[in-house]
Amino acid sequence: MTPLFIALAGLLTLATCAAIILPLVRGDARPTRHLALGILLLLPVATLLLYLHFGRPDGLQVAGPASEPPLAESQAEATANLQGAVDGLRQRLQAEPDDIEGWRLLGRAYKALEQFDAARDALAEANRRAPDNADVMVDYAESIALSNPDHRFDSQALRLLQSALSVSPDHPRARWFAGVAAYQHEDYAKAAEIWEQLLAMLPPEAEIVPALTARIQESRQLAGMPPMQAPATVAASPPLLKLRVELDPALQEKVSGSDTVFVFARAINGPPMPLAVHRLTVAQLPADIDLGDADSMLPSMKLSSQSRVTVMARVSFGGQPVAQSGDLESSPQEVAIDAGANDDDRQHTLRIDSIHP
């Protein structure tokens, strides 16, 4: 782990803590609109980006001694270290302008330094070179919002988020920022809907879950909607599909027991977002999975509302639902939903035997 990665993570964490703690110290019952927006933007960036394997630490190396200096003892020193590493990275990108991850990393570093215009320009370079990359589009959209005086997602940023979701419908950060944009435009019902979809994608132990749940409940209240029901309210629903998930022995050497496995069910003629998701690990394979309304991502999109769905399984090396090149997956299968069918008719086998391109 390089000094820049450590400094950048530290800056994000400090900014997040300040955004949360200051209103409490001042005794504010409700944070100002600007500070609330700061929390909306900073908290997921600090937590979600780390949760989604923030950047590439190896890409932060710049010319210097083989041994790494000790972690800066003060925030001023950390900022100075970060600025020096950023300057070195920018010089390297002038010689290697097609390094997409380098441009992304540069944009994130400028963001940590609150040089938002420079961050936007760096990520514009990444987007110009990889216009169909969902991760790049999300980074660029965020940088545009941060560079705007009121930190709002404008029409260009919204188009980027929509394009990212069209490429990767399950993209967690795209969904987060789409919810932020809806909240900014006071479409609180839409914000709650988008964030509920995101919440269903995350493992229960994810650090962002409590804050995300709070934002959902706040949005529902502002929209005049009832509070979000706890997932346990549908826990007693009967299984609708019985799936046997297996890993092809030929791919066994490519995985470890801790790698995440997602099992999806999608509507055949509907949105690409899954109707139901079940999460487990490679160590649990082979596994028999029951899918029912308890696994539905939204109360309005229940598995039982469909007569037929498409099911598949995927080993996600990044630990996130978004398919990445190199992930392992099964072939999608179209299956019938029939609560009255016997177990044999509801049993289907998903064999993970191919590599996502």
Task: Report pLDDT for 237.
Answer: 57
The Cα–Cα gap between 357 and 355 comes to 6
CATH of the domain at 336: 2.60.40
pLDDT digits (tens, 9 = 90+) for 301-346: 778 888 899 999 999 998 777 788 999 999 999 999 865 555 555 5
| Domain end (from 189, 222, 255) | 222
Same domain? 203 vs 327: no
Confidence of residue 58 (pLDDT cuts 50, 70, 90): very low
Please indicate, yes or no, if residue 227 is contained in any of the structural domains.
Answer: no
Same domain? 92 vs 143: yes
DSSP symbol at 298: B
pLDDT digits (tens, 9 = 90+) for 106-119: 998 888 888 999 99
- The pair of structure tokens assigned to 48 is 């979600």
Same domain? 181 vs 247: no
| Domain end (from 203, 222, 241) | 222
- Residue of 241, 201, 223 lying closest to 343 (CA atoms): 241
Which bin fits 186, alpha (ψ -120 to 50), beta or left (φ > 0)?
Answer: left
Same domain? 190 vs 256: no
- Residue of 333, 273, 331 lying closest to 309 (CA atoms): 333
Same domain? 165 vs 48: yes
pLDDT digits (tens, 9 = 90+) for 17-40: 444 333 333 334 333 444 444 444
Lowest mean pLDDT among 75-89, 159-173, 243-257, 264-278: 75-89
Same domain? 270 vs 200: no
Task: Report pLDDT for 78.
Answer: 62
What average pLDDT is seen over the chain? 76
Predicted model pTM: 0.50
Task: Report pLDDT for 16.
Answer: 43
Confidence of residue 196 (pLDDT cuts 50, 70, 90): very high
How many Å from the N-terminal Cα to the C-terminal Cα in the chain?
A: 29
- Beta-bridged to residue 243, according to DSSP, are 289, 348
Contact 219/191 with Cβ under 8 angstroms?
yes
What is the C-alpha radius of gyration for the chain, rounded to an integer number of angstroms?
22
Same domain? 217 vs 248: no
Same domain? 202 vs 323: no
CATH of the domain at 169: 1.25.40.10
Confidence of residue 232 (pLDDT cuts 50, 70, 90): very low
Please indicate, yes or no, if residue 314 is contained in any of the structural domains.
Answer: yes
Same domain? 25 vs 136: yes
Output phi, psi for 309, to 5 deg. -140, 165
**Is pLDDT of 357 > 60?**
yes
DSSP letter string, 130-141: -TT-HHHHHHHH
Same domain? 149 vs 259: no
| Domain end (from 222, 244, 268) | 222
Q: What's the one-letter identity of residue 86?
A: V
Contact 186/26 with Cβ under 8 angstroms?
no
Same domain? 172 vs 125: yes
Crossing angle of helices 100-112 and 3-26, in 10° steps, is 40
Structural domain count of the chain: 2
Q: How many CA atoms lie within 13 A of 218 on its CB side?
A: 13
Same domain? 169 vs 55: yes
Q: Which domain holds residue 288?
A: 232-355
